[in-house]
Amino acid sequence: MKITLNIWRQANAAAKGAMQKYELDDVSEDMSFLEMLDLLNENLNEQGEDPVAFDSDCREGICGMCSLMINGQAHGPEVTTTCQLHMRSFKDGETITIEPWRAEPFPVLKDLVVDRSAFDRIIQSGGYISANTGSAPEANNLPVEKAKADRAFDVATCIGCGACVAACPNGSASLFLGAKITHLGSLPQGQPERDTRVVDMVAQHDHEGFGGCTNIGECTAACPKEIPLDVISQLNKDLRTAMKHGY
Amino acid sequence: MTETQTPATTSDAAGFFTLGDPVADTKAPAEASVPTRWEERKSHAKLVNPANRRKIKVIIVGTGLAGAAAGATLGEAGYQVESFCYQDSPRRAHSIAAQGGINAAKNYRNDGDSVYRLFYDTVKGGDFRSRESNSYRLAEVSANIIDQCVAQGVPFAREYGGLLDNRSFGGVQVSRTFYARGQTGQQLLIGAYQALERQVAAGTVTTHTRHEMLELITTEDADGQTHAKGIIVRDMVTGEIETHLGDAVVLATGGYGNVYFLSTNAMGSNVTAAWRAHRKGAYMGNPCYTQIHPTCIPVSGENQSKLTLMSESLRNDGRIWVPKKKEDCAKDPRDIPEEDRDYYLERIYPAFGNLVPRDIASRQAKYMCDDGRGVGPEVDGVRRGVYLDFADAIKRLGRDAVETKYGNLFDMYAQITAENPYEVPMRVYPAVHYVMGGLWVDYDLESNVKGLFVAGEANFSDQGANRLGASALMQGLADGYFVLPYTIANYLADSHERIDESHPAVVEAKKSVEERINHFLTVNGTRSVDSYHKELGHLMWEYCGMERTKEGLSLAIEKIRELKADFWKNVKVLGTAESLNQSLERAGRVADFFELGELMCIDALNRRESCGGHFRAESQTADGEAERIDEEFAYVAAWEWAGEDGHMPVLHKESLSYEAIEMKARSYK
Ligand SMILES: Cc1cc2nc3c(=O)[nH]c(=O)nc-3n(C[C@H](O)[C@H](O)[C@H](O)COP(=O)(O)OP(=O)(O)OC[C@H]3O[C@@H](n4cnc5c(N)ncnc54)[C@H](O)[C@@H]3O)c2cc1C
Ligand code: SF4
Ligand code: FES
């Protein structure tokens, strides 16, 4: 396949960026999207041009490191991560535009690489169950209804990639936040801190500069793990309950 | 300093190494019986007063299961923890990718499991090349891990009654594996990550993401003993070279499977942290012990950047076969009648069938393909794939049940290959997956460099020459939550010299890092880093992969040396040191892989026996099974770095003896 690429180049966080055009001739459709970029980088290196910086690590769709806006869609046209996208999803001769996640709380560091440490700070504010090592009771002393355990698992699969934020016109991280609130709130172990957790995490989310949710649903459409929109309802419900409890 | 002797001339690797003094683990209380050793060690290890802990700084490199668990636990105990990882968040460490599950001797199935049996399976699975004391402790603490994870909110699979579910894994006859669909590693790591972030909020842990460790800082005490004092790291965004000093250093930096270029490891997985420590005196244990996982998606083309594992749990229900007749290999598998299929694992190993240990399943797949009965596209004239077929399982359990158990794995397979595994059998082939080798540690997980602790896959581990499925997650969390926090206190309880940034050891370490970076950026050669890495990987896979020979390994050493020399003269790295520069990061990693690769080949050449994942063609039984040579090789090979080119590594042997289990030939027939 022949592909034309339009890629955002930006030397560093302070620099002004711009789109730049590249041509690739020998792309095979069995290549992953990132292998296609590896090939571009090999070519650029040969020509003495600085390779394009982009994030990836596991290349298995699980670590959440990869992050590209492909033709205006977070992680591209399929419901998957950028690293699991293959060139067979594109046509010979196609022009593909590649940009970094665009959101104020995710500043660009270089080219397609952004800083997502805001997500870690949201988790620090309450995204855990306090259980010091060594203090845990025997695991089967606490049965968990299968339906609740399954629900917790389904939303715990969030990989923290940030596609939901990149896709949201408001730059909201409500899907990410709702997934964590729902994961921990579905489990009996998560009850003691349920109220403080939601209040503190929402405060941190807003403090980081993420926008509010207006139920557009772009987040869940872009989410590679198909985190459902109802986690945001759960988030709002938990927040109201906490308020009622006086938090 | 160690006294070195003349080389052992009887070794296949004569001329490549010298023999040093034997080494021994002195920390496991030998007077206690194997099952009581850990209790004994814990009861007598020195403690640090809680008021003093906050004055003590522990550096932890790595935020996978081992590093995150250790960081959270030491933070909870009140130490100051500095945590490092090369990804943009601790949650992305490669432990996240583990699919299948984690073992624990809970005996919830009432199927005869016990601590002893898990211990026995680990030692047998490791082909009697692991240390009994360590393997026992691993089995002993395994049950606590599950309790801890459940308390943190890890959503393990459950039964309708609300209790925890289990599945079976290869190499064992009980069902002791806990899992969270096909994402067990992710869920366990998120549990540990959240515990770590909780400590960040509490002020005990500071995380440094996008920071890569490039050097270990060591000093010598009055007795000539080397101690770890800190690390040099590069801020991967600004390029700044930073010094971090501490009272102890923990390396939990994962495995080095990427020396093969193609592996199931993450793109950034590297040996640099461990290798830098090795060059500063830490012994490398059994570097040639590599695990090749039998069920990965086959290589599809030249530009492939990594391989994807299909969890071993699939072998619970999937049946492995190849056509009996070569002429059937290109056919649609659904058109090959039952009688023309060779379910070779079930045929050769009736007792374990498709659930034989990984090394055996891998080697048999290679033999089938070498025999011309492989399936899938031809790569270099050979079809390298075997079928993993779910048709029977779907018939027996129904499609929904299969989907519930393995849905995400099937989706992943379909995404990568564009084939539907519910309809057509999966094609799989072995790939490098895990390394049992790593930095040598004693029972306390302390290296021979004092104050340097090594946890998780980065140490030479409790797994011997082969690891059983679902035991690496267990080891990472055992080390991080339940072992290291006790043993590190024993070191920290004594007072040790503290140094500052003006100390010559710091100045020297920093300078060497800067010079190396400067070298890469000024060579101005013609070849990319990746092209060297690929070539090295090919050599390793060809000669130090599933089957190794004296001839092949000797040739590999020569070729690696040539390639390495060329790399230093001819590599092309663009960009600057003061910015995010991914080629520069890779150049440093590949430089260390060259040195590691050479040592792996020397280790493999010396070990003229077959054991676990290390198969020397010269050492096999009449029916092609691995043949150990206990009289000669019942030892851990702990290698000491002797210097740059021309200096031969020094081999220190730690002899292995078995008290609790009788050493015998491993058989799964
Ligand atoms: C695809 C796959 C599936 C697996 N499935 C299973 C399974 O089902 N069950 C099982 O038991 N095991 C499984 N394993 C093995 C198991 O996942 C690993 O052995 C284990 O998770 C390793 O954990 P770790 O904490 O030692 O290292 P890792 O999780 O690899 O973490 C390494 C850490 O070190 C950091 N690091 C590395 N180098 C540097 C450096 N130079 N500077 C700074 N930081 C650095 C990284 O950033 C990372 O944080 C699987 C492995 C793979 C690859
Ligand atoms: S909710 Fe989905 S899109 Fe958002 S961070 Fe999690 S996995 Fe990514
Ligand atoms: S690189 Fe890990 S999810 Fe894409």
Supply the CATH number for residue A151's domain.
1.10.1060.10
3-state secondary structure chain A: CCEEEEEEECCCCCCCCEEEEEEECCCCCCCEHHHHHHHHHHHHHHCCCCCCCCCCCCCCCCCCCCCCEECCEECCCCCCCHHHCEHHHCCCCCEEEEECCCCCCCCEEECCEECCHHHHHHHHCCCCCCCCCCCCCCHHHCCCCHHHHHHHHHHHCCCCCCHHHHHCCCCCCHHHHHHHHHHHHCCHHHCCCHHHHHHHHHHHHHHCCCCCCCCCCHHHHHCCCCCCCHHHHHHHHHHHHHHHCCC
3-state secondary structure B90-145: HHHCHHHHCCCCEECCCCCCCCCCCHHHHHHHHHHHCCCCCCHHHHHHHHHHHHHH
Local structure of B508: helix, strand or coil: helix
A121 with A219, same domain: the answer is: yes
Does A53 sit within 8 Å of B237, measured CB to CB?
Answer: no
| pLDDT tens-digit readout, B266-318 | 999 999 999 999 999 999 999 999 999 999 999 988 889 999 999 888 998 99
A56 lines ligand 3 (CB under 6 A): yes
Whether A139 is covered by a domain: the verdict is no
Whether A138 is covered by a domain: the verdict is no
| pLDDT tens-digit readout, A119-140 | 999 999 999 999 999 999 999 9
Count of CA atoms in the C-beta half-sphere (13 A) of A111: 18
* Residue B8: per-residue pLDDT: 58
Whether A78 is covered by a domain: the verdict is yes
* Residue B359: per-residue pLDDT: 86
pLDDT band at B2 (very low <50, low <70, confident <90, very high): very low
Catalytic residue numbers of B read: 358
Local structure of B559: helix, strand or coil: helix
Contact B184, B100 (CB under 8 A): yes
- Domain with A208, as residue range(s), is 116-130+144-244
Cα of B234 from ligand 1 centre, angstroms: 21
What mean pLDDT is predicted for residues B432-458? 98
Within 10 A of B397 (CB to CB), how many other CB atoms are there? 15
A120 with A102, same domain: the answer is: no
* Residue B167: per-residue pLDDT: 87
Pairwise CA distance, residues B229 & B227, whole Å: 6
A61 lines ligand 3 (CB under 6 A): yes
Give the pLDDT of chain A (247 residues) as one tens digit per residue.
999 999 999 999 999 999 999 999 999 999 999 999 999 999 999 999 999 999 999 999 999 999 999 999 999 999 999 999 999 999 999 999 999 999 999 999 999 999 999 999 999 999 999 999 999 999 999 999 999 999 999 999 999 999 999 999 999 999 999 999 999 999 999 999 999 999 999 999 999 999 999 999 999 999 999 999 999 999 999 999 999 999 8
Please name the residues in contact with A85: beta carbons below 8 A apart, sequence gap of 6 or more.
A32, A33, A70, A75, A76, A77, A78
Q: Which domains does chain B have, with CATH numbers?
A: 34-290+434-492 (3.50.50.60), 293-432 (3.90.700.10), 504-655 (1.20.58.100)
A151 with A178, same domain: the answer is: yes
Q: What is the CATH number of the domain that holds A10?
A: 3.10.20.30
A55 with A34, same domain: the answer is: yes
**B361-370, B499-508, B584-593, B597-606: range with lowest mean pLDDT:** B361-370
B325: buried, middle or exposed (CB in 10 Å: 19+, 13-18, 0-12)? middle
Which residues of chain A does B309 touch, with a Cβ-Cβ cutoff of 8 Å?
60
- Say if residue B666's pLDDT is above 90: no
Contact A167, A74 (CB under 8 A): yes
Count of CA atoms in the C-beta half-sphere (13 A) of B580: 24
Record the tokens describing residue B426, joined without a space.
């999966």
**β-pairing verdict for B378-379 and B438-439:** unpaired
Whether A137 is covered by a domain: the verdict is no
- Say if residue B523's pLDDT is above 90: yes
Which sign does the torsion angle of CA A46, A47, A48, A54 carry?
A: negative
Does B209 sit within 8 Å of A145, measured CB to CB?
Answer: no
Name the average pLDDT for chain B. Answer: 95
A191 with A84, same domain: the answer is: no
Which residues of chain B does A194 touch, with a Cβ-Cβ cutoff of 8 Å?
none
Whether A202 is covered by a domain: the verdict is yes
Nearest chain B alpha carbon to A181:
B153
Cα of A161 from ligand 2 centre, angstroms: 5
What mean pLDDT is predicted for residues B551-564? 98
The atom of ligand 2 lying closest to the CA of A219 is: 3
Q: Is the CB of B209 inside 8 Å of chain A's CB atoms?
A: yes
The verdict on ipTM greater than 0.90 is yes
Whether A11 is covered by a domain: the verdict is yes
CA distance A233 to chain B (A): 21
CA distance A244 to chain B (A): 25
Contact B636, B653 (CB under 8 A): yes
- Say if residue B381's pLDDT is above 90: no
Q: Which ligand has an atom closest to residue B250 CA?
A: 1
Residue in the block written with tokens 């986690």: A231
A228 with A168, same domain: the answer is: yes
Whether A135 is covered by a domain: the verdict is no
- Say if residue B9's pLDDT is above 70: no
A84 with A126, same domain: the answer is: no
| pLDDT tens-digit readout, B78-136 | 999 999 999 999 999 999 999 889 999 999 999 999 999 999 999 999 999 999 999 99
A157 with A231, same domain: the answer is: yes
Q: Which ligand has an atom closest to residue B97 CA?
A: 1
A216 with A122, same domain: the answer is: yes
- Say if residue B5's pLDDT is above 80: no
Local structure of B254: helix, strand or coil: coil
Contact B186, B194 (CB under 8 A): no
Please name the residues in contact with B462: beta carbons below 8 A apart, sequence gap of 6 or more.
B122, B126, B130, B131, B134, B135, B137, B138, B475
What mean pLDDT is predicted for residues B520-541? 97
Record the tokens describing residue B25, joined without a space.
């683990």
Please name the residues in contact with A205: beta carbons below 8 A apart, sequence gap of 6 or more.
A122, A173, A174, A177
Which of A62, A109, A139 lies at the smallest CB-CB distance from B147?
A139
Quick one: what percent of chain B has pLDDT higher than 70? 99
Domain count, chain A: 2
A63 with A163, same domain: the answer is: no
pLDDT band at B1 (very low <50, low <70, confident <90, very high): very low
| pLDDT tens-digit readout, B238-276 | 999 999 999 999 999 999 999 999 999 999 999 999 999
Does B201 sit within 8 Å of A125, measured CB to CB?
Answer: yes
In chain B, which among 24-53 make CB contacts under 8 A with chain A? none
Does B580 sit within 8 Å of A110, measured CB to CB?
Answer: yes
CA distances from B121 to A23, B114, B117, B388 (A): 55, 11, 6, 25
The amino acid at B243: T
Record the tokens describing residue B526, joined without a space.
């013609």
**DSSP output for B390-451:** -HHHHHHH-HHHHHHHHHHHHHHHHHHHS--TTTS-EEEEEEEEEES-EE---TTSB-SSBT
Pairwise CA distance, residues B272 & B289, whole Å: 18
A223 with A125, same domain: the answer is: yes
**DSSP output for B589-606:** HHHHHHHHHHHHHHHHHH
Highest mean pLDDT, choosing among A211-225, B365-379, B408-422: A211-225
- Say if residue B331's pLDDT is above 70: yes
Contact A127, B194 (CB under 8 A): yes
Local structure of B295: helix, strand or coil: strand
Maximal C-alpha separation, chain B: 75
Cα of B28 from ligand 1 centre, angstroms: 26
Whether A33 is covered by a domain: the verdict is yes
A92 with A173, same domain: the answer is: no
